[in-house]
Amino acid sequence: MKRVILSAAALTICGLAFAQSPQVIVNPGQQPSPVVPTATVGGNYSDIDQKGVGSDAVVQQQGTSNASFIEQTGTDAGNRNMVDVLQWGNIQPSISGQLNYSDIKQDGAGNAFMVTQQGDLNEVYGTQMGLDNTAIVQQGANTPQHAQSNLSLVDQDGRDNFAEVQQRYDNSEASITQRNDVAAGVGNRSYQEQIANPNMSSGHTAIGTQYGDGNTMVQIQEGGLAPTGAGNYAQADQGDVADDATNAFAQQVQTGELNEAYASQKGTDNTLFQEQIGSGNKAVASQADNPTSGSSLYAEQYQDGTDNEARSKQNGSNNEAYQEQYGDQNFSSIEQRGGVNPGDANVALSIQDGSLNHSMIEQKARGNSAIVDQTGDGQMSVVNQNLASSSAPNGNGYNNATVIQRNANVSLTPQTQRAAAARRHF
């Protein structure tokens, strides 16, 4: 059994409601190149087109409404093309470092680009075709560039690629799409980190999409909330119905209030972690949901705060789902389909420590194990097993259910699941 340490709709007593509210980052469309730049103060324009191997492009633009276009074609692992773009300016006391645009296209192996933007309302579009490419985007700095309402879109097609986006301050959007186009090839890696500092403190949006096998995705979001009442939003999608994602790893970590984390994995041997620290948060994990089926799936959700909600759904056999919640008035649910025999059993564990918490576990077919451990007052636990499924139409036999409920003053050894804190994978 593996031991590694992962919005929903209305709650129903008789069954598990499992609703997801996926979002998309609206693409305003890439600007054409070349263009006639708008005649604004600081509106500089740069267009670089390089063909061949071992090319370097460096662009530095200061001010407002700058535009940079770079296209590089052809390279190999020994003679890489490189791009470095810096667009900057202090947004106070005068308006600067706003409405800048960077567009990068690279085709070949071993290419790399780095874009740094400081200020508000900036956009980055990066596209890479080939293997062993690297894309790094930094929008915002600690001071004095507040960097609000920025957009970063990175698209990589190939294998062994790496993409990283870091955004500071608030209300920014980041999207990374990676396609592993080589069967049994080395997977891709993506990393998104968004930190909402005081200022207006509206939450960020991070969306990651990966296709193929052996991919890794990490999303880290801190802060958020606000005057606007909006927290952070993270969405991780690995594989789809037509393209299973085998040996995928996804991790989402959020701190603050009113955050939402959604993760979906299609395929087998996948691992998923979700962690939320704060109140009013939602975490939804979906692994091999109908009509797809998977095995050897692992999902873990950890929440510390009040009024949080965690939902986990798995379809297949030999899967594991673990949930931990600390605080009051939290809700957790686990739904597992497809266990057949004891050797193919699914395992569900729910741990809640606080008051007025509610845990639901629903397991279909047979050979499954459910454990609930609740500490505190006013807890509720519902476990449904032996439910029919396509793999076990009669849906009965070989299940185990354990429910432990204790007052906080009773000295009993609680379940221990979190042997290691959720970790950043790279």
| Tens digit of each residue's pLDDT (9 = 90 or more) over 149-189 | 889 999 999 888 999 999 988 888 999 999 986 655 578 99
Length of the chain: 426
Q: Would strands 298-304 and 151-157 be described as parallel, antiparallel, or unpaired?
A: unpaired
Q: pLDDT-derived band of residue 412, with 50, 70 and 90 as boundaries?
A: low
The half-sphere exposure of 70 on its side-chain side, counting CA atoms within 13 A, is 28
Residue 69 falls inside a structural domain:
no
Measured CA to CA, the distance from residue 262 to residue 254 in angstroms comes to: 12
* Domain-located, residue 188: no
pLDDT band at 64 (very low <50, low <70, confident <90, very high): confident
pLDDT at 217 over 50: yes
In a domain, 421, yes or no: yes
pLDDT band per the 50, 70, 90 thresholds, residue 54? confident
Mean pLDDT (the chain) is 81
Asked if the bond preceding 34 is cis, omega within 30° of 0, the reply is: yes
Work out the average pLDDT over 195-219.
85
Question: What is the reported pLDDT for 114?
Answer: 96
Query: What's the pLDDT band for 228 if we cut at 50, 70, 90?
Result: low
How far is 292 from 255, CA to CA, in rounded Å?
32
Residue 1: is its pLDDT beyond 50? Answer: no
Q: Pick the more confident residue, 369 or 225.
A: 369
Task: Kindly tell me if the per-residue pLDDT of 274 is higher than 80.
Answer: yes
Q: What is the spatial distance between Cα 286 and Cα 311, in angstroms, rounded to a whole number?
A: 8
Q: Is residue 257 part of a domain?
A: no
Preceding amide of 93 cis, omega within 30: yes
Decide if pLDDT at 40 tops 50.
no
What is the domain range of residue 349?
A: 327-426
Let me know: does 147 contact 120? Beta carbons within 8 Å.
yes
With respect to residue 85, please indicate whether it lies within any of the assigned structural domains.
Answer: no
Token output for 322? 């673990």
> Which residue from 299, 273, 391, 277 is spatially nearest to 341, judged by alpha carbons?
391
DSSP string, 194-216: EEE-SSS-PPPEEEEEEESSS-E
**Is there a domain that residue 340 lies in?**
yes
Task: Examine the pLDDT at 77 and tell me if it is beyond 90.
Answer: no
Helix, strand, coil percent content, the chain, rounded in steps of 5: 0, 50, 50
- Per-residue pLDDT band at 89 (split at 50, 70, 90): confident
- C-alpha 130/C-alpha 343 separation (Å) is 42
Average pLDDT (352-363) is 94
Task: Point out the least confidently predicted range of 191-205, 245-259, 301-315, 373-387.
Answer: 191-205
> Three-state DSSP class for 396?
coil
Mind listing the pLDDT tens digit for each residue in 233-258?
Answer: 999 999 876 677 889 999 999 998 89
| Prediction pTM value | 0.87
Specify the pLDDT at position 41: 45
339 falls within a domain? yes
CB-based contacts of 210, cutoff 8 Å, min separation 6: 177, 178, 179, 180, 187, 188, 190, 217, 237, 238, 239, 245, 248
What is the spatial distance between Cα 56 and Cα 50, in angstroms, rounded to a whole number? 9
Residue 424 above 70 pLDDT? no
- Measured at the CA of 45, the angle between CA 38 and CA 81, to 5 degrees, comes to 150
Is residue 363 included in any domain, yes or no? Answer: yes
Between CA 227 and CA 241 the distance in angstroms is 39
For 157, the token pair is 């097609």
Neighbours of 398 (CB within 10 A): 18
Percent of residues, the chain, with pLDDT higher than 70: 73
Domains in the chain, number: 1
Q: Give the residue with greater pLDDT, 399 vs 351.
A: 351
Give the pLDDT confidence score for residue 162 in this predicted structure. Answer: 95
For residue 97, what pLDDT band results from cuts at 50, 70 and 90?
A: confident
